């Protein structure tokens, strides 16, 4: 440090050239002034050792910052991957990602523009992380399936979800634990089991229709349809998961309030704190205290229901639920599900299937309101199914081809989760690309996946921003146009609303059946129209995206 200060002093008095235009006398005076300044600096250092420490600290911090934000990225093997230049020297491209222009109708920027410019793989910096975003189908297949074990979900994401569900469930585990849990739960989500839930879907869909009846055909009455969908899906999940009646559509309850609090999006302050400050969750902050009490109430409710089930014989006349299936299975397996494990699986099911389904319903009816001709065709299909089979039931779901296509197209344009949980390379690897190239990614590389950008990539989707349900109906012009862009391939790894591979959404069939039943039943009773107050630009809310304000009027249909 002393050598550095000596160098600074010497440099401060050196002036071999002199100042242009100065006389010798003026140059001499300037030199004398510099000597006096240098001597004063040495005096300060001599009497104040703290200056040495301060300068050393500043030098150390400055060097560290230069290394982290300049040298380290420049030396990374990822530097050869194209991508956007950082817009900020500290935050990188994070500001562009957070300050999205979705309110201007530019969904899903900025990733869509970057996909168009840089292709199926690009690298961007998010603070200290160099992240690699992939939309190339071969790379996605490799990360999610072929070499999926090398790409676990990021630890921060798993820790966040573990704190929400209160334990280790499918959303928060990896490796052998995840494989075991999925193997144990998968039979309960097969087609044979899903048909038992269809009656639950129909019952609650009809209850919603009754709740909306007094509000229909009132010229000056509008409703936030999203709020009704969140109550509907909570009621369905409660009965389907653990046989509990939330009664959110009718009377409500403190448990409903607790659930709504947990599902409400936190502010950026809380989001950053939970993900980057280890002790943050224990801080005595109002939101954290309320969340703790809400989780305590919800956990106790689930525990009480499970305890009651363990003490009694199941009533064969009531609908079967997920906990029933798990407890029934205990009689036939060596590793029996404990009450605590059952509660964690119930919480996982609620978290994964509540907000996501209500958000999808919101977008389905937003797009119907914007395309009334397609809505009318879907309604006629529902009527034809009822005329043929008497009801919207399990056996008739396969006949709802257009309604199913409308749901699939909705999930393409507005996937409930705009970006899947990031993966992290466990070991060095090479990502295969569709053009035959191999891209090296070192251990620890964060792999990002934007489903929203993937689903609107013009390289693989014809008219990518246009609502065309026919693209999911085999043999139609839209279907064939998309297939031609993919050289005859289907939409696997081009379309991933439920993720893919060994960690795809285990409740995918459940969710699709629920959506089919609810959409068909609502179409049979009502048509919905957007008001002038409606704002249907996407808005990030927790883990999903929903319309900003789904203000709609309700109209009965004959």
Give φ, ψ of 542 to 5 degrees. 70, -110
The helix/strand/coil state of 351 is helix
Phi-psi region of 495 (alpha: psi -120 to 50; beta: other; left: phi over 0): beta
For residues 497 and 408, what is the distance between their CA atoms, to the nearest angstrom?
A: 9
Nearest to 375 by CA among 557, 107, 105: 557
Element (H, E) at 206: helix 191-212
For residues 357 and 360, what is the distance between their CA atoms, to the nearest angstrom?
A: 5
Question: Known binder of ligand: residue 505?
Answer: yes
Quickly tell me which residue has 């004398």 as its tokens.
32
CB contact at 8 A, 450 and 418: yes
Cα angle 370, 372, 377 (rounded to 5 degrees) comes to: 135
Cα angle 245, 250, 253 (rounded to 5 degrees) comes to: 60
- Tell me the CB-side half-sphere exposure of residue 174, using CA atoms within 13 A: 16
CB contact at 8 A, 501 and 144: yes
Element (H, E) at 188: none
Give the distance between the most distant pair of CA atoms in the chain: 109
Nearest to 420 by CA among 509, 519, 498: 498
The answer for residues whose C-beta is within 8 angstroms of residue 430's C-beta and 6 or more apart is 438, 439, 440, 441
Give φ, ψ of 423 to 5 degrees. -100, 160
Secondary structure, 3-state, 148-200: HHHCCECHHHHHHHHHHHCCCCCCCCCHHHHHHHHHHHHHHHCHHHHHHHHHH
CB contact at 8 A, 495 and 138: no
Binding residues: 505
Binding residues for heme: 505
């Amino acid at each position: 440090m002393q050598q550095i200060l000596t160098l600074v002093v010497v440099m401060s008095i050196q002036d071999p050239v002199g100042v242009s235009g100065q006389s010798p006398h003026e140059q001499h005076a300037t030199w004398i002034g510099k000597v006096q300044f240098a001597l004063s600096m040495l005096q300060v250092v001599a009497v104040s050792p703290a200056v040495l420490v301060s300068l050393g600290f500043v030098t150390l911090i400055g060097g560290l910052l230069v290394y982290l934000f300049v040298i380290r990225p420049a030396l990374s093997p990822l530097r050869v991957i194209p991508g956007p230049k950082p817009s900020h020297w500290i935050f990188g491209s994070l500001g562009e990602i957070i300050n999205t222009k979705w309110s201007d109708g530019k969904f899903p920027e900025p990733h869509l523009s970057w996909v168009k410019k840089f292709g199926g793989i690009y690298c961007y910096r998010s603070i200290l992380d160099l992240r690699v975003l992939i939309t190339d189908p071969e790379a996605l297949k490799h990360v999610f399936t072929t070499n999926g074990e090398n790409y676990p979900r990021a630890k921060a994401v798993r820790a966040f979800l573990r704190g929400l569900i209160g334990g280790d469930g499918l959303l928060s585990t990896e490796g052998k634990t995840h494989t075991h849990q999925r193997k144990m739960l998968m039979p309960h989500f097969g087609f044979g089991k899903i048909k038992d839930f269809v009656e639950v879907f129909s019952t609650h869909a009809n209850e919603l229709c009754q709740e909306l009846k007094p509000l229909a055909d009132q010229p000056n009455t509008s409703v936030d349809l999203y709020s009704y969908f969140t109550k509907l899906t909570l009621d369905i999940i409660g009965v389907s998961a653990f046989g509990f009646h939330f009664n959110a559509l009718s009377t409500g309850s403190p448990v409903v309030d607790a659930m709504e609090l947990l599902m409400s999006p936190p502010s950026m302050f809380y989001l950053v704190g939970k993900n980057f400050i280890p002790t943050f969750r224990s801080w005595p902050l109002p939101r954290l205290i309320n969340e703790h009490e809400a989780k305590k109430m919800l956990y106790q409710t689930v525990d009480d229901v499970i305890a009651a089930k363990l003490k009694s014989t199941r009533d064969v006349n009531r609908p079967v639920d997920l906990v029933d299936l798990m407890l029934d299975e205990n009689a036939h397996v060596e590793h029996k599900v404990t009450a605590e494990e059952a509660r964690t699986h119930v919480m996982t099911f609620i978290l994964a299937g509540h907000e996501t389904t209500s958000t999808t319903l919101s977008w389905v009816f937003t797009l119907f309101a914007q395309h009334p001709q397609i809505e009318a065709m879907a309604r006629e299909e529902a009527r034809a199914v009822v005329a043929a089979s008497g009801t919207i039931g399990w056996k008739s779901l396969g006949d709802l081809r257009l309604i199913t296509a409308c749901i699939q197209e909705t999930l393409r344009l507005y996937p409930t989760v705009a970006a899947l949980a990031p993966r992290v390379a466990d070991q060095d690897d090479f990502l295969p690309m569709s053009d035959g190239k191999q891209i090296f990614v070192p251990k620890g590389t964060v792999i990002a996946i934007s489903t929203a950008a993937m689903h609107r990539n013009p390289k693989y989707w014809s008219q990518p921003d246009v609502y065309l349900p026919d693209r999911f109906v085999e043999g139609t012009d839209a279907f064939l146009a998309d297939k031609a862009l993919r050289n005859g391939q289907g939409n696997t790894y081009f379309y991933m609303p439920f993720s893919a591979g060994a960690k795809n959404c285990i409740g995918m069939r459940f969710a699709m059946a629920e959506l089919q039943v609810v959409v068909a039943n609502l179409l049979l009773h009502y048509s919905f129209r957007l008001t002038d107050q409606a704002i249907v630009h996407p808005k990030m809310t927790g883990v999903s995206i929903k319309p900003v304000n789904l203000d709609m009027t309700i109209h009965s249909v004959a």
